[in-house]
């Protein structure tokens, strides 16, 4: 049974959204399905490379998924109220380390992929919305369906839809990360958070030890 934290990372990674196809870049619902399908296919097709070199998963994440994740917005949401207390000159460094942290974290979660299928909810009106929630069901033979929801926002400058959070079984990924880092930010500050993330970024991926890495 997957840990909920690992499941959150897996699903948020697999269905992150952005301007993937020109004809669909204004539709967050279609984009979810397009990006998910392409990601699943690449994982399946490149299993020989992944088995030989598990860190190849990091390349897949960086090339296929990071362009469609609003990692800066997510990084600020994780900081929460502590954003006002951190040195402004350290924010760019935090963004870059957080980006790599997502790559490493999501690459670990990708190792959990095992032909799960996803059914998305019917499209709803989003023309006048800047933030939408797209719901879906994750289906896997022999296990109960899992309800998930994706938080997607339209960037006011680029007008692109990008994912910034995912909720599974009532647990928000952004909120979970914020809680995880809360005490570190309060006691040791942003530098300690960056140090912790950098340490995790350096860890090689081990496919048969996925849950221990998450």
Going by pLDDT thresholds of 50, 70 and 90, the confidence category of residue 211 is very low
Residue 62 lies in a domain: yes
Residue 71 pLDDT greater than 90, yes or no? yes
| Domain harbouring 120, CATH code | 3.10.450.710
pLDDT at 213 over 80: no
In a domain, 212, yes or no: no
Whether the Cβ atoms of residue 70 and residue 155 lie closer than 8 Å to each other? yes
94 domain-assigned = yes
pTM score > 0.85 for this model?
Answer: no
* Residue 129 predicted with pLDDT over 50: yes
- The verdict on residue 209 lying in a domain is no
- The distance from CA 214 to its chain's CA centroid, rounded to whole angstroms, is 13
Q: What is the pLDDT of residues 175-189, one digit of tens each?
A: 888 998 899 999 999
What sign does the dihedral 71-72-75-77 (CA atoms) show?
A: negative
List b or e across 58-68, with b for residues whose CB sees 16 or more CB atoms inside 10 angstroms: bebbbebbbeb
Evaluate whether residue 84 is within a structural domain. Answer: yes
Residue among 151, 66, 138 at smallest CA distance from 107: 66
44 inside domain:
yes
Average pLDDT, rounded, for the chain: 81
Domain coverage including residue 164: 4-204
Question: Is the residue at 93 inside a domain?
Answer: yes
Position 211 in a domain: no
Domain count, the chain: 1
């Amino acid at each position: 049974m997957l840990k909920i934290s690992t499941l959150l990372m897996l699903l948020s990674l697999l269905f992150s959204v952005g301007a993937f196809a020109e004809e669909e870049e204004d539709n967050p619902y279609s984009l979810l399905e397009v990006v998910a399908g392409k990601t699943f296919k690449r994982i399946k097709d490149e299993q020989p490379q992944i088995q030989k070199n598990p860190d190849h998963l990091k390349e897949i994440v960086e090339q296929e998924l990071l362009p469609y994740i609003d990692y800066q917005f997510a990084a600020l949401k994780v900081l929460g109220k502590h954003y006002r207390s951190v040195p402004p000159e350290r924010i760019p460094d935090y963004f870059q380390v957080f980006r790599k942290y997502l790559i490493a974290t999501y690459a670990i979660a990708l190792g959990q992929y095992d032909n799960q299928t996803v059914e998305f909810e019917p499209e709803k009106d989003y023309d006048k919305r800047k933030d939408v929630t797209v719901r879906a069901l994750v289906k896997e033979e022999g296990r109960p369906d899992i309800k998930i929801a994706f938080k997607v926002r339209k960037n006011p400058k680029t007008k692109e839809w990008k994912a910034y959070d995912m909720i599974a079984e009532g647990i928000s990924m952004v909120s979970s990360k914020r809680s995880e880092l809360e005490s570190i930010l309060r006691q040791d500050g942003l530098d300690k958070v960056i140090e912790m993330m950098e340490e995790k970024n350096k860890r090689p991926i081990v496919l048969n030890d996925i849950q221990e890495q998450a």
